[in-house]
Amino acid sequence: LILMFTHSWILGLLYLLGSIPIAIKAYRFRNEYRAASRLSQDQAGDLATAVEESVHGIRVIKAFGRGPHIYEGFNTQAKSLQETEIAKAKTLASFLLTVVAVPETILGIGLFIGIAQVANGTLSVGALVAYFAIAAVIAGPVEGMGMLLGMTLSTKTALDRHFEVMDSANDIVSPEQPRIPGERDGSVQLRHVRFAYPDTAGTHRPILADIDLEIRPGETMALVGITGSGKSTLLNLIPRLHEATAGEVLIHGQNVKDWELDQLRTEIAVAFEDTTLFSSTLRDNVLLGAPASLDEHEREALLTEALDVAQAHFTYSLPQGVDTLIGEEGLSLSGGQRQRIALARAIAARPSVLVLDDPLSALDVRTEELVTEKLREVLAGTTTLIVAHRPSTVMLADRVALLRDGRIDAVGSHTHLLSTNEHYRFVIASLDDEELPIAEEASR
């Protein structure tokens, strides 16, 4: 630009004036393209989620004959994404048109002015040629600016999406100065514990209103209650997957908030009601939480014991045995098989506290009986809290805690509660009703 002004201030000023419409267009382009790029990435994410859900639920979709409906939904989302991408491409094309057409138009006008100046003797032919040579050098970066700005804005919106996730606050973190419990006695205590989900706090009755519960070291306690009473929520407070709104949860006599998170969750093993397996070998899934200090021989022995307790002997008949790769989320296995692998995984972790959320619901009565018998041996020295949805699971426990209206209504042996608590009899009767179809199926 300095050289342009040196040769002819008129032509230099003319070329510089061409940047004004480009700058105005660039400002508008930035806002429009950034919005279109963000919308496009959000729609692409939603479409990918829809495809993933359809693949995972393909059996359900086929069973209900909803294939055309799902396809129509996918088609609608895909067309919306297509329209957004076309609009984004048009926005970019319009800007590219501006950054190419404006400089070329300026050069055309400059040619006529330059010829007039040469004719008047105010500009030499060499200076005019130099002006156009300089303009040709500048034209490349100016024309490339459109595509580069488009890629930059796409990158920025992608980074915004990334940091929205990465910058979200994690409310459950390790304390700055974690404490180590003096004695690991295996006790679990809940003192005046309250819990309400953050989005319902202050507007709804808390799920857990005032929980007082003590599980003795080495004891197996069953937690029963009607559907929706908060049993699974209570279990999530023990490994601190949820944070208690008020009160204290103590493991080995120490508040879980004072534990270093990784250490706390090493002490506790969990088998959830919704079984989650990973797309890896059965061996890796079972030994996921096994102590890292074990050697290869000890790990093999632990694997064998865990599979035996969970009655997961079917693993040995698979093509590659325990080294067989299972599909994503274990969908290549049946519900009962996935549940037994999850139970084996919890047992293999060798925890001091075991939390089981209805781990036997998908098993037939005979298999449940075998698993229960083995669990009695394995859990002899492990403090266990187990959510029971079947009377047979209740029989595994030393004591039973009855959850009602967000509080522990009664604690005692199964026999004692049957004879003294009317609500407990009602809950057990409802469990019997749920178990009846399973028993009939097993008998057939």
Which of the residue ranges 32-46, 195-209, 235-249 would you say has the lowest mean pLDDT?
195-209
- Mean of the pLDDT values across residues 338-355? 88
Question: Is the pLDDT reported for residue 438 higher than 60?
Answer: no
Say what the pLDDT of residue 238 is.
92
Give the residue, 391 or 340, on which the prediction is more confident. Answer: 340
Residue 141 pLDDT level (bands cut at 50, 70, 90): confident
- Distance between CA atoms of residues 137 and 198, nearest Å: 60
Question: Is the pLDDT reported for residue 435 higher than 60?
Answer: no
Say what the pLDDT of residue 311 is.
87
- Residue-wise burial string across 7-22, b where 16 or more C-beta atoms lie within 10 A, e elsewhere: bbebbbebbeebeeeb
Type of residue found at 179: R
| CATH of residue 275 | 3.40.50.300
Say what the pLDDT of residue 39 is.
93
- Distance between CA atoms of residues 102 and 100, nearest Å: 6
Is 173 a domain residue? no
Q: What is the four-CA torsion angle of 309, 313, 319, 320, rounded to 10 degrees?
A: 30
CB 339 within 8 A of CB 171: no
Question: Is the pLDDT reported for residue 208 higher than 80?
Answer: yes
Domain match, 108 and 222 both: no
Say what the pLDDT of residue 41 is.
92
- Distance between CA atoms of residues 342 and 351, nearest Å: 14
Q: What is the four-CA torsion angle of 364, 365, 369, 374, rounded to 10 degrees?
A: 10
Residue 432 pLDDT level (bands cut at 50, 70, 90): low
Is 179 a domain residue? no
Is 178 a domain residue? no
Is 176 a domain residue? no
Residue 206 pLDDT level (bands cut at 50, 70, 90): confident
Query: Does pTM surpass 0.85?
Result: no
CB 192 within 8 A of CB 247: yes
CB 45 within 8 A of CB 81: no
Domain match, 435 and 299 both: yes
Could you say which of 166, 200, 231 is where a domain stops? 166
Question: Is the pLDDT reported for residue 226 higher than 50?
Answer: yes
Is 175 a domain residue? no
Alpha carbon separation from 256 to 174, 209, 212, 249, 335 (Å, rounded): 10, 19, 16, 6, 33
Domain match, 93 and 221 both: no
Count: domains in the chain:
2
- Distance between CA atoms of residues 232 and 345, nearest Å: 19
- Mean of the pLDDT values across residues 283-307? 89
Is 205 a domain residue? yes
Is 318 a domain residue? yes
Domain match, 293 and 368 both: yes
Domain match, 237 and 93 both: no
Residue 270 bridge partners (DSSP): 355
Domain match, 46 and 194 both: no
Domain match, 227 and 113 both: no
Work out whether the CA dihedral 360, 364, 367, 370 comes out positive or negative.
Answer: positive
Domain match, 108 and 204 both: no
Domain match, 151 and 255 both: no
The pair of three-digit structure tokens given for residue 68, joined into one six-digit string: 């055309």
Three-state DSSP class for residue 412:
strand
Is 180 a domain residue? no
- Distance between CA atoms of residues 215 and 442, nearest Å: 34
Domain match, 394 and 261 both: yes
Instruction: Please write the tens of the pLDDT for every residue from 151-203.
Output: 888 899 999 989 988 988 888 888 888 888 877 788 899 999 999 887 655 55
Question: Is the pLDDT reported for residue 84 higher than 90?
Answer: yes
Q: Residue 110's domain spans which residues?
A: 2-166
Question: Is the pLDDT reported for residue 15 higher than 60?
Answer: yes
Please give the biggest Cα pair distance in the chain: 118
| CATH of residue 157 | 1.20.1560.10
Say what the pLDDT of residue 439 is.
38
Say what the pLDDT of residue 444 is.
38
Instruction: Please write the tens of the pLDDT for every residue from 303-336.
Output: 999 999 888 888 888 888 889 888 777 777 888 8
Say what the pLDDT of residue 440 is.
37
Question: Is the pLDDT reported for residue 368 higher than 80?
Answer: no
- Name the average pLDDT for the chain: 85
Say what the pLDDT of residue 202 is.
54
- Distance between CA atoms of residues 164 and 151, nearest Å: 20
Domain match, 245 and 294 both: yes
Domain match, 248 and 391 both: yes
- Distance between CA atoms of residues 160 and 154, nearest Å: 10
Question: Is the pLDDT reported for residue 256 higher than 80?
Answer: yes
Q: What is the four-CA torsion angle of 295, 300, 304, 307, rounded to 10 degrees?
A: 80
Block residue for tokens 């083995």 = 374
Residue 114: CB partners within 8 Å, gap ≥ 6? 8, 11, 123, 128, 131
Say what the pLDDT of residue 51 is.
92
Block residue for tokens 């492990």 = 382
